[in-house]
Structure 1
Amino acid sequence: MQEIKLLRERIAGGGFDPEFSALCGGTPAASCRERWLSVLAGYEKAFGPADRAALFSAPGRSELGGNHTDHQRGKVLAASIHLDVIAAAVPNESGMIRILSEGFPVDVVDLSETAPRPEEAGKSSALIRGIAAKFLSLGYPVTGFDAYTTSNVLKGSGLSSSAAFEVLVGTILNGLFAGNAVGPVEIAQIGQHAENVYFGKPCGLEDQMASSVGGIVAIDFEREGAPRIERIPFDLASCGYVLCIIDSGADHADLTDEYAAITRELAQVCGCFGRRVLREIPEEEFFAALPAVRAAAGDRAALRAIHVYEDNRRVEEMTAALRAGDLSRYLRLAAESGISSWTQLQNVSPTGSTVHQEVALALSLARRLLGGQGACRVHGGGFAGTLQAYVPAERLDAFVSGIEAVFGPGSCHIMSIRPRGGIQLA
């Protein structure tokens, strides 16, 4: 916490520029200063003048490998990115949390009511309530706060704007009421719990973990509640490649059942063995029982299970390739993961959709524009939204132009990998 007057002077005078440079990729320092000054102004417009405030940031994330493996206690490779949700926050001692996110109505959560509320399912207030409830259960004296937030994480883009918001709320509570004693792994787990139990979405832990921990991270979820995490130092830009996220323009609305069907069908596969997740079933045992699996769960469920087994191995190999600096091997594996998502996991186009197959079309166009170089793959949950492409720097202009000629101006976004996860700046 610092005096708001001093915060403004420090931001305007470039005092935070080193932090902004690390967190915001190639974004000009002047733009970063303006954004952080605007969040302070937004706070005071919403909640009135304050003597002191704290500043927080939580990044979006990009999944690099391991598509839909996390909820099977599998392996993933992910990275935090330079797009983030930022906040100015002030304790209010009222027993209430009030968060005004730019462009949305204010969320108000009464801390005396910590149980999930059915009417909040699918709303950001459910996430706030669930995260605050966990901090209270851990014994931290959460007495309420006001916060104003703004985000440049592309909503519905597969960059996990919801996970970034969860990590932001956890980081605020950690900074204001827990003396930053709660580690990034636990903050991620708290966010997942809130999304599963309070918000009502059966997500895995990858998104929250990548946002909270930061950088490129290899995560193994074999040990429930205690994932193994390895940070991988690797500079993609120094190898002459640019990471792009392509927004296909597909609509995420009414796709909840498509996402839930993946976990539901994999649960049917696991039920054939009396297990909960695929990680508990040796691959050889699965294939030995494949006829019975097909009969009980169906062919799509079997194919989705095969994808999970194979993508877990690919994550190991992709991680090893990055450790060794072998980018060509890494890109080959990334492309294989994308093909597996399309043909086995089948999360590129919604079931039965024939007219609208935006992600599939974007993948086909990206492969053509890459001309046999780089790689592209479906990004995140799939079915709608975005894909990921690794583009040689010398082809970047032509690649962006080719994508935007079909999917519209601003549909191809250039990403930077951020070295830090959720943080308190002041």
Structure 2
Amino acid sequence: MISEGMLDTLFANQFRRESSCLVVSPGRTELCGNHTDHNRGKVLAAAIDLAKTAAVAPRDDMRVEIITEGLPERVDLIIDDDKPREEEKGTSSALVRGVIAALRRKGFKAAGFSAFVRSGVALGSGLSSSASFEVLIAKIISRLFNNDTIDPLTMALAGQEAENRFFGKPCGLMDQIACSYGGIVSVDLEYPEKPIIESVDFSFYDHGYTLAVIHTGGSHADLTGDYAAVPQEMEAVARFFGKTACRQLSRNQLFEELSSLRKAVGDRAILRALHFFNENARVTEATEALKKGNMQEYLSIIRASAKSSRDLLQNIYSPSKPEEQNISMALALAEELLGNDGACRVHGGGFAGTIQAYVPNERFSFFRERMEHYQGKGSVTPILISSTGEC
């Protein structure tokens, strides 16, 4: 964790007054359940030891000012209403306004504050920088104005609403839940307002494997359409049957109406829905494998998840840029190095960004050296599970 004295000094240098406390929000890693949360599916995720840490202090007005070290964008807004603003879409200001609006609607108090943020969760890292930021704002509001009484689920829901309605990016609830709850969590989102959340006590390192993410290069810029198409196409399949989400369907229904369905929604939508059903079942299997302490069974499930994301979900590269296949290349390299011992998969939303790998502890140094030879120095980041929503 960043020392309190260091952040206090940085805060004082920027705002010419003292901070009152530190607030921490971890990043997250998706373990299983690739693109299932937005269709009321199941997910397995975890908070990690890379976090956003903020020195904060309340203001005596409704102004919010946030400086994030290393980023040119400075948040500076007046939280005088709770409506989305078109000119803020796609910005951090939209996330701040959205989180605060959602919390105020739930009856929580909010006012202005100043914050200096240092982040170990890099933008575009696949470790959910946006959800970590959203939960950070919710934690600041809880700490400064509500005596730490805002529960993790309320924080997560506020973050999701901010991203969907205010920022303008469709997303599920997995990232926010993982960041707000901490540890490994198995989440059933069949009823999103009342998800079933189960904590799972497990250490990959203690079972012989280092969990790592590999930055593949490329940018998430201009990929919003690719991300949005995944839930939209799954939902198109659901609408064919008079439903709103794939969770309300069964696999058998797809095959019973396959001919008519292909004409109505197209092949890719059906393949993505099939991924949803299979991946949903894998989350349950992966959770049980961890609870039993069976690492090899878990790795087998992860390999199946990786294959499904590549073949059915098709989020390994953007179809608009087939010449740019950074994820595909990184997966191929990792598979060459791992052989039959370990696993790798696309991480998070996909199309660009990161992959995830489970590497035998004794081979991690070699794996890291070779991957960074191809992908660039610093591209491999080992991660540990954060046991709580703090770090």
State the TM bucket, normalised to the shorter chain.
over 0.9
Match of 2:41 among 74, 78, 94: 74
Aligned to 2:267: 299
Give, in whole Å, the separation in 2 of the partners of 1:191 and 1:163.
7
Residue deviations 1:266-292 (CA, integer Å, cap 9, x gap): 121111111100011122222211222
Residue deviations 1:112-148 (CA, integer Å, cap 9, x gap): 1221000000000001001111222223332211111
Offset of 1:154 from its aligned partner? 2.1
Give, in whole Å, the separation in 2 of the partners of 1:301 and 1:143.
44
Would the aligned equivalents of 1:167 and 1:422 in 2 still touch at CA under 8 Å?
A: no
Q: Does residue 134 of structure 1 match 2:102?
A: yes
Aligned to 1:272: 240
Query: Which letter maps to 1:321?
Result: A
Would the aligned equivalents of 2:250 and 2:277 in 1 still touch at CA under 8 Å?
A: no
Would the aligned equivalents of 1:171 and 1:422 in 2 still touch at CA under 8 Å?
A: no
Aligned to 1:27: none
Offset of 1:214 from its aligned partner? 0.6
TM-score by length of 2: 0.97
Describe the shift of the 1:284–1:310 C-alpha distance in structure 2 as closer, same or farther (beyond 3 A): same
Offset of 1:40 from its aligned partner? 1.3
- Secondary structure of the 1:242 match is strand
Q: Does residue 335 of structure 1 match 2:303?
A: yes
Q: Does residue 89 of structure 1 match 2:27?
A: no
Describe the shift of the 1:285–1:176 C-alpha distance in structure 2 as closer, same or farther (beyond 3 A): same
Offset of 1:395 from its aligned partner? 1.0
Aligned to 2:365: 397
- Secondary structure of the 1:246 match is strand
Aligned to 2:29: 62
Aligned to 1:289: 257
Aligned to 2:194: 226
Say which is worse superposed, 222-231 or 94-103, in terms of deviation. Answer: 94-103
- Secondary structure of the 1:275 match is coil
Would the aligned equivalents of 1:244 and 1:415 in 2 still touch at CA under 8 Å?
A: yes
Aligned to 2:67: 100
Gaps of at least 5 residues in structure 1 are: 1-19, 21-31
Would the aligned equivalents of 1:184 and 1:422 in 2 still touch at CA under 8 Å?
A: no
Residue deviations 1:26-56 (CA, integer Å, cap 9, x gap): xxxxxx43xx433211211111122x51110
Query: Which letter maps to 1:399?
Result: F
Q: How many residues align?
A: 390
Q: Does residue 308 of structure 1 match 2:300?
A: no
Offset of 1:265 from its aligned partner? 1.0
Would the aligned equivalents of 1:174 and 1:182 in 2 still touch at CA under 8 Å?
A: yes
- Secondary structure of the 1:39 match is helix
Would the aligned equivalents of 2:214 and 2:381 in 1 still touch at CA under 8 Å?
A: yes
Would the aligned equivalents of 1:116 and 1:197 in 2 still touch at CA under 8 Å?
A: yes
Query: Which letter maps to 2:272?
Result: R
> What is the aligned-residue RMSD (CA, Å)?
1.2
TM-score by length of 1: 0.90
Would the aligned equivalents of 1:185 and 1:212 in 2 still touch at CA under 8 Å?
A: yes
Aligned to 1:373: 341
Gaps of at least 5 residues in structure 2 are: none
Would the aligned equivalents of 1:76 and 1:219 in 2 still touch at CA under 8 Å?
A: yes
Would the aligned equivalents of 1:61 and 1:160 in 2 still touch at CA under 8 Å?
A: yes
Query: Which letter maps to 2:191?
Result: R
Say which is worse superposed, 93-102 or 356-365, in terms of deviation. Answer: 93-102
Aligned to 2:13: 45
Give, in whole Å, the separation in 2 of the partners of 1:234 and 1:422.
18
Say which is worse superposed, 135-144 or 38-47, in terms of deviation. Answer: 135-144
Give, in whole Å, the separation in 2 of the partners of 1:229 and 1:141.
27
Give, in whole Å, the separation in 2 of the partners of 1:316 and 1:137.
34
Offset of 1:352 from its aligned partner? 4.2
- Secondary structure of the 1:67 match is coil
Give, in whole Å, the separation in 2 of the partners of 1:320 and 1:399.
28
Aligned to 1:236: 204
Query: Which letter maps to 2:309?
Result: S
Q: Does residue 350 of structure 1 match 2:318?
A: yes
Would the aligned equivalents of 2:254 and 2:270 in 1 still touch at CA under 8 Å?
A: no
Give, in whole Å, the separation in 2 of the partners of 1:219 and 1:82.
20
Offset of 1:93 from its aligned partner? 1.6
Offset of 1:422 from its aligned partner? 4.8
Residue deviations 1:207-237 (CA, integer Å, cap 9, x gap): 0110110100000001130000000000111
Offset of 1:338 from its aligned partner? 0.7
